Amino acid sequence: DLSFTEGRVDFQNVCFSYTAGKEILSEVSFTVMPGQTVALVGPSGSGKSTIVRLLFRFYDVQGGCILIDGQDISKVRQNSLRSYIGVVPQDTVLFNDNIRENIRYGRISASDQEVEEAAVAADIHHKILSLPDGYATEVGERGLKLSGGEKQRVAIARTILKSPRIILLDEATSALDSQTERNIQASLAKVCANHTTLVVAHRLSTIICSNQILVLQDGQIAERGRHEEL
C-alpha cells in the first residue's frame, strides 16, 4: 500500500474551501525536506490549522495534491498515513481513560517505564506525580481537568512515545507563563530532533528554531525564508 521512508512533505498548488465560494487555500505550494522543521505563521483564520488537517487527511484537497515521499496521500490508506504522522493539535482533547493510557495510545506496546520517560521528556511527569492517583488518574469530563498547556504536553508525550517520521504541531494560542513556555519549548525541541516537523507557530521562540518560515496570508504563502531574512 505504501512505502514511506524519508519524511519529505510536498504541497503542490493545493486549493481548499470548507464552503463553496470561500476559498481558504489557493494554490499553496511548499516543501518540507526530511528532518527539517518548518514554521507556519499568519493571522488568525488564515488557514494554518487547515494545512495540518489536510496533511493528516481530515479533509481531501480540492485542487493540487499533497505528497509524502513522492506519493499522493489521497491514494494512501488513512491508517497507514496516520501511523506515519504524529499530531499535537491546537486544542488537545484527552480520552476518557487514565493519564498513562492517554500517553501510551501512540504505541500500545510501550512499557510503563517508556510512558514515564516520554512524560519526563515532555515536562509533564512531575505534574502527573502530584495528582491524587498519579499515572492512574482518570481524565475526561468527570475526571481531572488539566489546563490547555498541560493537555498539550500530554499530547507531546504521546508523540514522543510514538516517534513518527513526520510531526505536526499546532501550538496552543493560550498565554503561557515564561517558565512553562521555556519548558514546552525544550520538550518540543526534543520531539523535533531527527523528525520532519511542520509547526504552526504562535511563539517567536519556535520560529527562531525553525529551518524555514512560511507566512500564510489571504490563502497564499506571502513570504518564505529564514528568521533573519524576514
The site for ligand ATP (CB under 6 A) is made up of 18-19, 24, 42, 44-50, 90
Which 80-99 positions form the footprint of Mg ion (CB under 5 A)? 90
- The correct pick among 49, 98, 152, 159 for binding Mg ion (CB under 5 A) is 49
Residue 44 interaction partner, one of ligand ATP, Mg ion, none, beta carbon < 5-8 Å per kind:
ligand ATP
The cell for 71 is 506519493
Specify whether the CB–CB gap between 58 and 87 falls below 8 A.
no
Minimum CB separation from ligand ATP for residue 1, in Å? Answer: 28
Residue 81 cell numbers, joined: 498515513
- Nearest residue to Mg ion by CB is 49
Tell me whether residue 90 or residue 196 sits nearer to Mg ion (CB atom): 90
Residue 107 phi/psi, 5° resolution? -155, 90
Residue 212: name its binding partner from ligand ATP, Mg ion, none (Cβ under 5 to 8 Å by kind). none
Q: Tell me, what DSSP letter sits at residue 117?
A: H
| Alpha carbon separation from 217 to 23, 25, 40, 223 (Å, rounded) | 12, 9, 11, 9
Q: Are 209 and 224 within 8 A, CB to CB? A: no
Residue 50's binding partner, choosing from Mg ion, ligand ATP, none, with beta-carbon cut-off 5 to 8 A by kind? ligand ATP
**What is d(CA 111, CA 176) in angstroms, rounded to the nearest whole number?**
31
* Residues making contact with Mg ion (CB under 5 A): 49, 90
